[in-house]
Structure 1
Amino acid sequence: MFELFIAMVKEEWRIHSTMFGSISFALFPILIFWIAFMGSFLLPLMRQALPTGELSMVLHANYLMLGFMVGAFGLLGSEAMNRRFGQASLLAYAARSLPLPERFIFANFVVKDTLYYFVLWVLPLALGFLLASPFIGVPITLPLLLALTLSLSFLSGLCLVFFLSSLYSRSKPALFAILGILALLAGAVALVTGKNPARFFPPVMLFNAFSWLNLFLCCAAIAILFTISIWLFTPEIADTTKHYPDMLVPLSRRLSFFPTPPLTAKDIIDMYRSGGMVGQTLFSFVIPLVVIWFFLSLLNGYLPSYGVLLEFAIVAGIIASTMYTWLTMFDTFGAYACLPISVRTLIKSKIASFTVLQIIPAVFVALAALLSRQAVYLIPSVVLCLSVSFYSMGITVWLTGLSPSVLVYNVKVMVTYLVLIGIVLIILSAVAFSNPFAALGAVILLLPAAFFARLGFAKWEAREQPGF
C-alpha cells in the first residue's frame, strides 16, 4: 500500500518541522548542497596532496560509514513498531491495527527512513559536485558516475548493518559466525592478492571500471541483503520472564565518585539489559571503525608512519561522541518530570554515563595501536581520541541538550557544530602530524568541553522540555 509509505514520509516531515520549524528543516539539504558545491572548488588543491583515485576511496568510505551509522534498523525494530518517542505513537505502531503484515509495515518504515537520509545527506552532496563540475574542468559523466557509486556505497553500508543487526536480534552466535567468515574472507583476499581488501569494495570497483554487469551485481547484493533483513525481522518479544539480580545498589556504590550515581547506574543497567550496550557498540562503533581503518590504511604512502593511527583516533573520537545520543535517544525528560530532578541534573547523569562508556573507544584505539605495531604512540592516540570525544560531547550538550538525535537537522545547530569541530580537528591534525607526542596536548580540549557543557546546563534548564 503506497498510501502507508506516503503517510510515513509526511509524518517524518511533520515531526521534524514541528521540532524546529519547517524552514530550518528544509534548509538542511541546501546546506549540504552548498558545502559540496563550494568544497568541489578545492579539488585541484587536494589532488596535489592526494591522487584522484585515493580521494575517491575516501569519499566512498565516508558514504559507507554514513550507511553504517543509520542502518541498524534491526536494533530499532521494537521501538519503531511500538512507540519510538515514548508517549508519541508513530504510524508504524498505529498501522498494526490494520489488516497488514507487520513485516510489510516495517519494510515501509525502513524504506521511508532510507529515502529520508538519502534526500537529506546523499542527494544534495551529489548535486553540489555535479553543478560545480563545469567550473572545475571535470567531465559531467564523472560526477554522475560518482553520484551512482556513492549512493551504492551508502546503500551497501546501510543494508549490511541492517542485515547484521537483524541477525543479532535473532541469533547472536549466528551473527558472530558471519562476522568471523567475513573476517576470514578479508584476510584471504589480502593474503592472495597482496592488496588492501578495501580496494575490492564493489562500488569502488564500479567507479574505477564501470560495467553493466558490475552495476547489476551491486544492486542485486543490496536487494538480497535488504530482503533477508526484512525476513529476519521479528517485532514480537518472546513471551519469557527474565530475572535479574539487584545491580542498581552495588553499581551505584562503584560509581559514587559521580555526582548522580543512581541515575548513572540506571543508564548503564538499561543499556546492558536491553542489549543496547553490546548492539550499539558493535553496529554503531566497532564495525564502522574496522572498515574505516581499512580505508584509512590506503593513505599510508601519503601520511607519516604514525599518521593513519592518529587520524583513526580522531575519527574514533568523533564517532565515540555519538554515545551521548545512545543514552538520550529513547530516554526523554518527560519520564523524570514527576521526580525532583532538574534538567541540569539529568544532563549531568548522561555525561557521567557517557564517561563510563568511553572505556570502549579507549580500549579500541589502544588495540589499534598495538595491532598496527605503533605501540609507542598508544598513549597519544588514546588521549587524542578521548579529548575529541569529550569536546564534541560538550558542544552537543550545549547545542542540543537532551535531544541530539532530532535537533541535528537544525541548520543553525549543524553549522555551529561543524565550524567548532572542524577548526579544532584541522589544528589537531596539523599539530599531531608534526609531532605525534604533541597530540598529548589535546587534553586541553577538556576545558572548552566543560565550558560548553556548563553553557548547556544553563540554556536547557531555562527551557521547557518536551513531554513526550
Structure 2
Amino acid sequence: MFELFTSMMKEEWRIHSTIFGSLSFALFPVMIAGIAFMSTFLLPLFGTVIPIVQLILITHALFLLLGVMVGGFGLLGNEVMNRRFGQASLLAYSARTLPLSERFIFLNFVIKDTVYYFILWVFPFVAGFGIAAPILGISLLYPLSLLLTLTLTFLTGLAWVFLLSTIYARSKRGLALAGLFLVAVFGGTYLFFGVDLLRMFPPLALFEAFSPVVLIEALLLIIVPFVIAVQTFTTEQADATKRYPDRLTPLMKRLSFFPYPYLAAKDLLDLMRTGAAVGQTIFSFLLPLGLMWFFLSLIGSFLPHAALLLLFAILTGVLASTMYTWITAFDTVGSYGCLPIAVRTIIFSKICTFSLLQVIPVVFLAILALTTGAGQYLPSVLVLGLAISFFGLAVTVYLTGLSPNVLIYDAKVLVTYLISMAVVIVPLIVLSFMNPLYPLAAVLLFIPAAFLVRRSYPRWEKADIEGF
C-alpha cells in the first residue's frame, strides 16, 4: 500500500510541477504560511471587534469547511475509476492494468488527497501562526494545540462528507434518510438535553481543554465514518448497456436564447450525467453554506442582524463563483482542438452556463432572507451576492482560463486572486456594517468584471496558440 501511496504523491508533484514549475508549486504552502504569519499580527486589532474565543471558533469553522469541500470522494468514484485510459494515464485509472482491486486503489487515492491538502493548507497555516507566536509573546502551546485541533477539524469534515457522498452515490433516498437521522440526533440532543452543539464538536472542545477522553471521541468521529465510507464505497457499474434518449436537441431548444445553445446544452448534460448537478450543489454549495450560517449565527450577538446577513451574502457570492470550476471540470481546450470553435467562444459559453447556475444562490439567499424576517434587505443581499459571484468569476477566468481546477495551485495565481477579491470584499464588508443600503453599490463590480472577461479572451487565445 505504501508503495502505491508514494507513487501517487510523486505523480501529484510531477503533474503540478510540470504545469507551474517546481519552484512555483513548492511556494504555494509557503505563501499560505506567509498569509497566516502576517494575519497573526492583526489579532490584537481583530480582538477589539470580535472576542478571541469567536476568532478561534471561526478558524475551526473555516477548516471544517475545507474538509467538507474536499471530502466528496464518493462523487468521484465512478469518474476516477472509469477514466482508465483517458488523456492522463494516472495510477487511479489503472485498476485493469495492475493486479490491484479498484477499492484498494481508490483508498490510496483518498489518503493521498487527504495528505496532499494537509501539506498544502493545514500545516502551512499553523506553521505561519507558530512562527509569529513568539514575536507576539504567545505561548508555543497554542500553535501545537491548533495543529492538533485544526487537523482533527479538517479530517472530521472530510470523513463525514466522504460518507455522505458515498451514500449519495449509492442511493439518493439513503442520503435523505441519513440527513434526517443526523438532524434528529443533533437537534434532539440540543432541544431535549440542553447540550451545547459546540460542545458536541470534540476538536473545538479539545482546544479549550485537553482531555484524553475528548481526543478519543474526536478520533472516533473521524475513523468511524471513514471506515464505513470505504466499506460501502463502490465503483461497480451495472452490466446492462445504458441507453439515453436524445436530450441534447430538446435542451438546445430550451436554451435557444443563449448565444451558443449547443455548448451550453453540452455543459449541462455533463453536469447531469456525472451527478455533479445535484451532488456538487449539495456537497460543494448547500452543505458548506449551511455550516457557514450555523457558525455565523453563533457570533450574531456581536453583529447587527442586517450586517450578519450581508456578510453571509458576500460569503455566498465567493462560494457561488466557484461554480465555474464545476463547468470546466469535464473538458479542456484540447478536446475542442479539431472543431472550428474559438477559445473565446468556449469561455463565453461557459460564462452563460455559469449565469444560469446562479439561480441556485439567488433562491438560497432569498429563502434565507425571507425566513429570517429580513425581507426588507433582500435587494441588498441579492445584489451583493451576485456582484461578488460574477466579479470572482471574472477574476478566475482572467487568471485561469478553462483550467481553474489546476491553475489555482500556482502560488502567483492564488496570491493575485486573493488580493483581487480582498480589494473589493473588505470595503463591502465595511459598507454592510455602516448601512444595509450601501452594499447596493456593489452593482458597480459588473463593470470591472466585464472588463476582465474581455481582456481574458485574447490572453487565453494566445496561450492556446503557444501551447499553454
Please, what TM-score do these two structures have when normalized by structure 1? 0.96
2:180: which partner in 1? Answer: 180
Q: 1:293 to 1:110 in 2, by over 3 A?
A: same
Asked if the contact 1:328/1:403 (under 8 Å) is kept, the reply is yes
1:2: which partner in 2? Answer: 2
- AA in 1 matched with 2:357: L
Q: Trace 1:27-46 onto structure 2 (pairs within 5 A).
A: 27-46=27-46
Answer with 285-294 or 268-277: which moved more.
268-277
1:285: which partner in 2? Answer: 285
2:384: which partner in 1? Answer: 384
C-alpha separation in 2, matches of 1:276 and 1:85: 22
> Please, which runs of 5 or more residues in structure 2 have no aligned partner?
none
> What is the Cα deviation at residue 367 of structure 1?
1.2
> What is the Cα deviation at residue 244 of structure 1?
3.8
Answer with 197-206 or 13-22: which moved more.
197-206
Structure 1, residues 298-325: CA drift from partner, whole Å, max 9, x if none?
1211111212211111111111111100
> What is the Cα deviation at residue 126 of structure 1?
0.5
- AA in 1 matched with 2:55: L
C-alpha separation in 2, matches of 1:454 and 1:360: 26
Structure 1, residues 5-29: CA drift from partner, whole Å, max 9, x if none?
1100000000000011111000000
- AA in 2 matched with 1:73: F
Aligned-residue CA RMSD (Å): 1.8
2:12: which partner in 1? Answer: 12
1:205: which partner in 2? Answer: 205
Q: Trace 1:300-379 onto structure 2 (pairs within 5 A).
A: 300-379=300-379
- AA in 2 matched with 1:46: F
Structure 1, residues 204-247: CA drift from partner, whole Å, max 9, x if none?
11112220111111112211111111112111222234444433
Q: 1:199 to 1:390 in 2, by over 3 A?
A: farther
> What is the Cα deviation at residue 437 of structure 1?
1.9
Answer with 306-315 or 114-123: which moved more.
306-315
Aligned length: 468
C-alpha separation in 2, matches of 1:266 and 1:307: 40
Structure 1, residues 426-448: CA drift from partner, whole Å, max 9, x if none?
01111122111222221111111
C-alpha separation in 2, matches of 1:193 and 1:422: 42
C-alpha separation in 1, matches of 2:385 and 2:227: 37
1:113: which partner in 2? Answer: 113
Q: 1:199 to 1:55 in 2, by over 3 A?
A: farther
Asked if the contact 2:79/2:274 (under 8 Å) is kept, the reply is no
Structure 1, residues 80-134: CA drift from partner, whole Å, max 9, x if none?
2243894111011125422222211111111001100100000000011111111
Q: Trace 1:55-454 onto structure 2 (pairs within 5 A).
A: 55-83=55-83, 86-192=86-192, 197-198=197-198, 200-454=200-454
C-alpha separation in 2, matches of 1:77 and 1:221: 23
Answer with 408-417 or 191-200: which moved more.
191-200
C-alpha separation in 1, matches of 2:259 and 2:314: 29
Answer with 67-76 or 228-237: which moved more.
228-237
Q: 1:243 to 1:80 in 2, by over 3 A?
A: closer
Q: 1:428 to 1:189 in 2, by over 3 A?
A: farther
Q: 1:72 to 1:294 in 2, by over 3 A?
A: same
C-alpha separation in 1, matches of 2:317 and 2:332: 25
In structure 1, the residue corresponding to 2:302 is in which secondary structure?
coil
Asked if the contact 2:84/2:95 (under 8 Å) is kept, the reply is no
Asked if the contact 2:344/2:457 (under 8 Å) is kept, the reply is yes
C-alpha separation in 2, matches of 1:133 and 1:146: 12
C-alpha separation in 2, matches of 1:190 and 1:385: 32
C-alpha separation in 2, matches of 1:287 and 1:50: 25
Asked if the contact 1:198/1:295 (under 8 Å) is kept, the reply is no
> Please, which runs of 5 or more residues in structure 1 have no aligned partner?
none
- AA in 2 matched with 1:18: T
- AA in 1 matched with 2:69: M
Answer with 414-423 or 296-305: which moved more.
296-305
> What is the Cα deviation at residue 363 of structure 1?
0.6
Structure 1, residues 57-81: CA drift from partner, whole Å, max 9, x if none?
0000100111111111111112222
> What is the Cα deviation at residue 33 of structure 1?
0.6
C-alpha separation in 2, matches of 1:288 and 1:467: 37
C-alpha separation in 1, matches of 2:462 and 2:15: 23
In structure 2, the residue corresponding to 1:100 is in which secondary structure?
coil
Structure 1, residues 276-305: CA drift from partner, whole Å, max 9, x if none?
100010000011111111101112111112
Asked if the contact 1:130/1:143 (under 8 Å) is kept, the reply is yes
C-alpha separation in 2, matches of 1:359 and 1:398: 23
In structure 2, the residue corresponding to 1:310 is in which secondary structure?
helix
C-alpha separation in 2, matches of 1:326 and 1:349: 14
Structure 1, residues 325-366: CA drift from partner, whole Å, max 9, x if none?
011112112221111111111111111110111101111111
Asked if the contact 1:196/1:294 (under 8 Å) is kept, the reply is no
> Are 1:456 and 2:456 counterparts?
yes
Q: 1:435 to 1:195 in 2, by over 3 A?
A: farther
Answer with 384-393 or 300-309: which moved more.
300-309
C-alpha separation in 2, matches of 1:138 and 1:73: 38
